[in-house]
Amino acid sequence: MAATVARWNHVWVGTETGILKGVNLQRRQAANFTVTGQPRREEAVSVLCWGPSGETQILAGCADGTVRRFCTEEGRFQGQRHCPGGEGTFRGLAQADGNLITCVDSGILRVWQGNDKEAFSDHLLELKVGPRVCKMRQDPTHPHIVATGGKENALKVWDLQGSEEPVFRAKNVRNDWLDLRVPIWEQDIQFLPESQKLVTCTGYHQVRVYDPASPQRRPVLETTYGEYPLTAMTLTPEGNSVIVGNTHGQLAEIDLRQGRLLGCLKGLAGGVRAVQCHPSKPLLASCGLDRVLRIHRIRNPRGLEHKVYLKSRLNCLLLSGRDDWEDEPQEPEEPKVSPEDTETDELWASLEAAAKRKRPDTHEQSQGPPQARHKKKKRPGSTNP
């Protein structure tokens, strides 16, 4: 794809097959980008973030432990850096002051020296944030502040310019009515704007608000949604509510002031892996296991705005924050198609052709053969021909 077309994509999506997909919603087209030209599952894209140059550069964390730099202006990958240390996939990726921040499943958080013009060098800092990490999230207003959490790994806030101890460590909620310990499973984290508060969603369908400035380290607000694990969460543009997604494809908006349900969004058919709201428009992007990217309108009238089938299981996404979504490039070009997509199209075409060959003539079946339709049935005991 030409640079002009790549620059005008609205959403970037990372897949389990190692493909970075750029989606233009107005034209309902997706372009595929890989480093080697062939999709590889060992290079599955697990996390995405914008680079130091803003939306002209994307950093993609892959399952093989590399972070790849993609230029949206030129529509190609420009380099990669192997980030060893720890085990498991990336659970968070961010950049601050030209340095790269990574966190893997086993709980190793590292800060790597480098910038957008050179390869990342040795790491500057290493923190052990606890095992079985599910999410690392950066504070948008304070890039050197990050939060981590996971399964039996309580919420922690870290200052990457301070000590090696967390500046805030959440305390588990009190025992339940049977006096049993409540398990911990932080799945996603968000920093609330213009405050020190954080909100988390859990694998036990809870939404919790924490205030590090409060004397207590327990949640200052807690509510639940549904019956299934919550897997992804995003702040709405106003910052007073969050939208959560679960393993059964349900999306819901939760008010953070009163903890009540504000509304639900329909249309998903698989577990939600990533959601993100536009910073100024009432739009929500979501993707997951059903291989479909959806854009919902989250303000009245609520509803589905765009739906694009992307053929691969989707792990993560980046939604462009620009406002001029209606503008288009002067000369549209055809997107590239990966070998995987070509094989998928051929498979579906062959299945449809086979189905047509085997499909019986329903009209003839209902009416029967011509002789049978005109032959009168004899009554029992009748001698008439």
pLDDT at position 379 is 52
* Sign of the alpha-carbon dihedral angle for 44, 48, 51, 54: positive
Is residue 355 in some structural domain? no
Is residue 366 in some structural domain? no
**What domain range includes position 271?**
3-344
Is residue 369 in some structural domain? no
pLDDT at position 349 is 55
- The amino acid present at 84, given as its one-letter code, is P
pLDDT at position 338 is 44
Dump pLDDT digits (tens) for 159-176. 999 888 999 999 999 999
Mean pLDDT, rounded, of the chain = 84
4, pLDDT greater than 50:
no
pLDDT class of 326 with cuts at 50, 70, 90: low
Dump pLDDT digits (tens) for 268-303. 888 999 999 999 899 999 999 999 999 999 988 899
Number of domains in the chain: 1
CATH classification of the domain holding 131: 2.130.10.10
14, pLDDT greater than 60:
yes
The pTM for the full model equals: 0.82
Across 49-58, 136-145, 317-326, 346-355, least confident range: 346-355
Is residue 379 in some structural domain? no
Question: Residue range 51-78: average pLDDT?
Answer: 92
Is residue 368 in some structural domain? no
pLDDT at position 367 is 46
